Amino acid sequence: MKDKYIVAGIGTDTGKTVVSAILCKALGADYWKPVQAGDLENTDSHKITKWAPESIIHPEAYRLTQPMSPHAAAEIDRIVIDESNLQLPSTDNTLIIELAGGLMVPLREDFVNIDWVQKTNLPVILVANYYLGSINHTLLTISLLKNRSIPVAGIIFNGEKNLSSFEVIQKRSGLQCLLEVDQEESITPEIIAHYASKLRL
């Protein structure tokens, strides 16, 4: 059986889709975003198709019209997200799964992302940034994963580098840094391929 990884961020706009494209390119992986909330004309699946065109894209289980928390977007669309519809797609390839938002983002009022992640029993690749407060957010996220006994394959850091933050997170988490992605002005297939060649997984 090929590997499957869940890509989770420490917050919103961490660069999960860029990282997912890098992982797809490096691992020859398929891509799946279970829940897409908003921007349906330019979804994360569309971006993966553009940045890692060799990847097979599996259709989202839910396509919500509003760019907000899935539970709220689903309510506006008058649907309820049912975890029984969040079944992993069948594939013979490695699979990269990108969450909608962070681990505590609700899919329903009584069901958050990490509840689903725990049910899958799949390892998480965590995307972290270097903004003010990111040390706290990163370590809290890692603590949450460890408390749920969810395996973490490693961290990918995204954005303008901060050596002090990097060292604190590495030391206190004990997790492997799989890759550092710089702050890029634009994302192209060439940029994705460049980082894919540096992945340590």
Catalytic center residues? 33
Query: What are 121's two structure tokens?
Result: 């029993």
Between the alpha carbon of residue 27 and those of residues 77, 106, 128, 196, 198, the distances in Å are 35, 30, 20, 8, 12
**Terminal Cα distance for the chain, rounded:** 17
Helix 16-27 crosses helix 44-51 at what angle (to 10 degrees)? 40
